[in-house]
Amino acid sequence: MASSSSLTLSQAILSRSSIPRHGSTSTSSSLSLPSFSGLKSTSSSAVIRRRGPTTTRLPIRASAAVEILEKTTEAELVEKSVNTIRFLAIDAVEKANSGHPGLPMGCAPMGHILYDEVMRYNPKNPYWFNRDRFVLSAGHGCMLQYALLHLAGYDAVKEEDLTSFRQWGSKTPGHPENFETPGVEVTTGPLGQGIANAVGLALAEKHLAARYNKPGSEIVDHYTYVILGDGCQMEGISNEACSLAGHWGLGKLIAFYDDNHISIDGDTEIAFTETVDTRFEALGWHVIWVKNGNTGYDEIRAAIKEAKAVKDKPTLIKVTTTIGFGSPNKANSYSVHGSALGAKEVEATRKNLGWPYEPFHVPEDVKKHWSRHVPEGAAFEAEWNAKFAEYEKNPFLQAYTPESPGDATRNLSQQNLNALAKVLPGLLGGSADLASSNMTLLKMFGDFQKNTPEERNVRFGVREHGMGAICNGIALHSPGLIPYCATFFVFTDYMRAAMRISALSEAGVIYVMTHDSIGLGEDGPTHQPIEHLASFRAMPNILMLRPADGNETAGAYKVAVLNKKRPSVLALSRQKLPQLPGTSIEGVEKGGYTISDNSSGNKPDVILIGTGSELEIAATAGDELRKEGKAVRVVSFVSWELFDEQSDEYKESVLPAAVTARVSIEAGTTFGWGKIVGAKGKAIGIDRFGASAPAGKIYKEFGITVEAVIAAAKEVC
């Protein structure tokens, strides 16, 4: 099943916009189809490793990082560099009078070693594909990363950015944001998200390496580093993601656990006394303990070396540090976590660490020492090369007619996913243990597993939150990767924090959410979404799509795939639905459109509006009313966000302001529909929890029926 695309891997994965946004949340509608590579994707589940393009290869000098690691810098200069990092953080937080100095002060040594001695990156091209990825999962300590990016020569963080930390329009917001600051890989701050993102980044590396590397041409070959704190460790999401990382044997994931025994409420003894090392061993990780993270540079170096030597397991390096190291009166206390030190304590810390410089000063020798990263980074990138081919657009979406057999949109979804997988080599994903219910298996591929990382069906287990955040990591690893993930729609509640970060960080994850209403029947109210459609319609920069049949499901996938910087949620039915006359892919792209109409002059007597499984009800009610002589327009309102983006003229052509006789029907809350149907219209929905019974019975009991629509229509017109 060779794809006929003609973009090469390198072209595709390099093609990342480097224009950060501020003030814009919408994505361009002129995006082309996602490019990924012209490389063959696998057509069987057999393990065929190291296949790839027959292109010229520039062999990477394999162990550049290791070489650097061995050649350690003069001890005194290292100490000076580490203190530079500490004081950049102290000074920036002090000037902003807001922020978190404690972590940067404690983690400066590991930060220094990573960015100065270990990691391979190109400061002048933060999007160089084969860079090592770094994630600060303890995102509140972002001044650590800003200081490091500054020293390393990234253009995004100049001195004026440090002095405008946390200010309007700066490149140094209060938590790391990939869309603001090139050099930042993912958006962190909400605890635990970052470590899960890192699992996704490491998964992407392992997957791409397995698919595209050839002996002697390891074009995909980087590490993923992450710093996480006690807070991240307590969050359930981190256990979910780290259990998977151990299961998958992500040997190039190296996590530094900043073990400082302090969280916001005080000593971790008050709520966190588990044995983290043992837990990670149970999760299948290699664990190393660096007992002196404050000044034990060689310990840290040795740990990284050991971690790299363990190739079949991710490594947790527990680094015991002192939060706020260097502050004579505030170190090792929660007071240094999230507030400026205050002028007096800053002075005392300067004295204590022997730091005679002005705020924001970088000593010349430190500056000189770090200056090598710009040419070195350029050399890394120059060494790395990749080939070209061209990706060819294919008509890849299924077409349906009213004669096509009716089906559940979850089944139609599977047909589309499988069709897309053939032409989108970067499409991969899976379900949280509901593959056979969500219908998300890519039939021609095997499972992504420890020993079959080139495969494209990811088995997430029952770990929704981890799943979402891992997909964010995959999406932000390479622009050609399109991750999708699936569960029951109601369980978006388990992963909402990760989904919000998809939206915020412009990670175009596709969320395939089946069993989208009371229509799932007997599983009952714990499994029946009610408020979920509204809750995503209210969230910025995420597309909520609820297709009604085959054409609309195809349209929803088209929209989802094209919106690379905006995640999509597809709400799909468990129950079978008929193919409706009038539905279309093009209609879906407009968000709302007329599927049938017997009125003229844009003046129907009544407009019936439905989504998903209830569009059929609206259509049937429309037919009945027409038999009684009414001029009825039936509108599919598959995506409110897309409709909002249409021209006023188009909107008026679908929902003319003069026609106030409107009835909506949707098997979910009526919350939000008031604006669509207006004060004189009527919204039919469910403003209570569901019930356990066969679907048909529940629809009837809750009044989600053709009769109800007809009655409401007669009431309003």
Please report whether residue 678 would count as binding a second copy according to CB under 8 A: yes
The stretch near a second copy (CB under 8 A) out of 395-403, 430-438, 582-590, 629-637 is: 430-438
CB proximity list for 682: less than 8 A, separation 6 or greater: 662, 663, 664, 712, 715, 716
Is residue 246 within the footprint of a second copy (CB under 8 A)? yes
**Which residue from 226, 196, 74, 50 is spatially nearest to 136, judged by alpha carbons?**
226
Residue 382 in the binding site for a second copy (CB under 8 A): no
What is the C-alpha to C-alpha distance for residues 707 and 618, in angstroms, rounded to an integer?
A: 10
Does 459 interact with a second copy (rule: CB under 8 A)?
Answer: yes
- Strands 286-290 vs 543-545: parallel, antiparallel or unpaired: unpaired
- The answer to whether 465 is annotated as binding is no
Kindly state the tokens that stand for 130: 């084969």
Site for a second copy contains 175 (CB under 8 A) = yes
The verdict on whether residue 312 carries a ligand-binding annotation is no
Residue 656 phi, psi dihedral angles, 5° rounding: -60, 135
* Residue 527 marked in a binding site: yes
Q: Does residue 262 sit in helix, strand or coil?
A: strand
Task: Please tell me the distance from the alpha carbon of residue 410 to that of residue 573, in angstroms, as a whole number.
Answer: 6
Sign of CA dihedral 651, 652, 655, 657: positive
> Known binder of ligand: residue 262?
yes
Q: Is 515 assigned a ligand-binding role in the annotation?
A: yes
Looking at residues 176 to 235 of the shown chain, list those that interact with a second copy (rule: CB under 8 A).
177, 187-192, 230-232, 234-235
CA distance 118 to 202: 17
Nearer Cβ to a second copy (196/353): 196
Nearer to a second copy, 53 or 483 (CB): 483
Token readout for 232 is 């991240």
Q: Does residue 447 touch a second copy according to CB under 8 A?
A: yes
Q: Is 439 among the residues that bind a second copy (CB under 8 A)? A: no
Q: Which stretch binds a second copy (CB under 8 A): 73-81, 116-124, 368-376, 693-701?
A: 693-701
As a residue count, the chain comes to 717
Site for a second copy in 491-550 (CB under 8 A): 491, 493-494, 496-497, 500-501, 503-504, 521-527, 530-531, 534-535, 537-541
Binding span for a second copy by CB under 8 A among 212-220, 575-583, 612-620, 669-677:
669-677
Q: Work out whether 71 is an interface residue with a second copy (CB under 8 A).
A: no
Q: Which of 32, 26, 36, 18 is nearest to 562 (CA)?
A: 32
Q: What is the DSSP string of 431-449?
A: ESS-HHHHT---TT--EEB
| Residue with Cβ nearer a second copy (298 or 493) | 493
Burial class (CB in 10 A: 0-12, 13-18, 19+), 627: exposed
Query: Nearer Cβ to a second copy, position 118 or 499?
Result: 499
- Closer residue to a second copy (CB): 94 or 177: 177
Minimum Å gap between C-beta 94 and a second copy is 13
Residue nearer to a second copy on the CB measure, 125 or 541: 541
Instruction: Tell me the sheet residues that pair with 457.
Output: 429, 447
Give me 201's structure tokens. Answer: 């980044």
Question: Of 81 and 188, which CB lies nearer to a second copy in the complex structure?
Answer: 188
Choose one: 153-161, 617-625, 695-703, 705-713; the region binding a second copy (CB under 8 A).
Answer: 695-703
243 is a contact residue toward a second copy (CB under 8 A) = yes
Both structure tokens of 312? 């079949």
Under the binding rule (CB under 8 A), the answer on residue 697 touching a second copy is yes
User: What are the strands of the beta sheet with 662-665, ordered from one edge?
Assistant: 593-597, 632-636, 606-610, 662-665, 682-684
- Distance in angstroms (rounded) separating the CA atoms of residues 100 and 284: 32
The answer to whether 100 is annotated as binding is yes
**What does DSSP say about strands 262-263 and 266-267: parallel, antiparallel, or unpaired?**
antiparallel
The closest of 273, 271, 303 to 286, measured between CA atoms, is 303
Q: Which span sits near a second copy by CB under 8 A: 20-28, 154-162, 305-313, 620-628?
A: 20-28
658 lies in the binding site for a second copy (CB under 8 A):
no
Select from 21-29, 58-66, 217-225, 473-481 the region that touches a second copy (CB under 8 A). Answer: 21-29
Nearer to a second copy, 387 or 465 (CB): 465
Indicate which single residue of 115, 460, 489, 699 sits in contact with a second copy (rule: CB under 8 A).
Answer: 460
Q: How far is the CB of 687 from a second copy (least distance, A)?
A: 6
Contact 495, 471 (CB under 8 A): no
**Footprint (CB under 8 A) of a second copy, residues 541-600:** 541
Closest C-alpha among 45, 151, 135 to residue 470: 135
Nearest CB to a second copy, comparing residues 125 and 335:
335
Angstrom distance (rounded) from CA 495 to CA 497: 6
C-beta closer to a second copy: residue 74 or 701: 701
CA 592/CA 600 separation, integer angstroms:
19
Say if residue 230 carries a ligand binding annotation: yes
Draw the binding track, 615-654, toward a second copy (x: CB under 8 A; -: no contact).
Answer: ----------------------------------------
Q: Does 434 help bind a second copy (rule: CB under 8 A)?
A: yes
53 is in an annotated binding site: no
Nearer to a second copy, 38 or 284 (CB): 284
Decide: is 348 part of the binding site for a second copy (CB under 8 A). no
User: Does residue 279 interact with a second copy by CB under 8 A?
Assistant: yes
Instruction: Name the residues annotated as catalytic.
Output: 464
Q: Which of 104, 139, 377, 508 binds a second copy (CB under 8 A)?
A: 139
Interaction between residue 239 and a second copy (CB under 8 A): yes
Residue 189 annotated as lining a ligand binding site: yes
- 3-state class of 7 per DSSP? strand
Both structure tokens of 551: 């054409």
Rounded to a whole number of angstroms, the minimum distance from the CB of residue 294 to a second copy is 23
Q: How many whole angstroms separate alpha carbon 10 and alpha carbon 55?
A: 11
Tell me the HSE value of 641 on the side-chain side, using a 13 A CA sphere: 26
How many of the chain's residues bind a second copy (CB under 8 A)?
116
Report the interhelical angle of 142-152 vs 75-96 (nearest 10°): 120
User: Binding site annotation covers 298?
Assistant: no
Contact between 461 and a second copy per CB under 8 A: yes
Residues 252-271 contacting a second copy, CB under 8 A? 263-265, 268, 270-271
605 is in an annotated binding site: no
- Tell whether 190 is in a known binding site: yes
What is the C-alpha separation between 424 and 36, in angstroms, rounded?
7
Please report how close the Cβ of residue 54 comes to a second copy at its closest, in angstroms.
Answer: 34
Closest CA to 22 of 209, 245, 255, 178: 178
Cα separation, 631 vs 134, whole angstroms:
61
Binding-site residue numbers for Mg(2+) are 230, 260, 262
Annotated binding site for substrate: which residue ranges? 100, 337, 410, 437, 515, 523, 527, 574
Q: Which residues are annotated as a binding site?
A: 100, 140, 189-191, 230-231, 260, 262, 337, 410, 437, 491, 515, 523, 527, 574
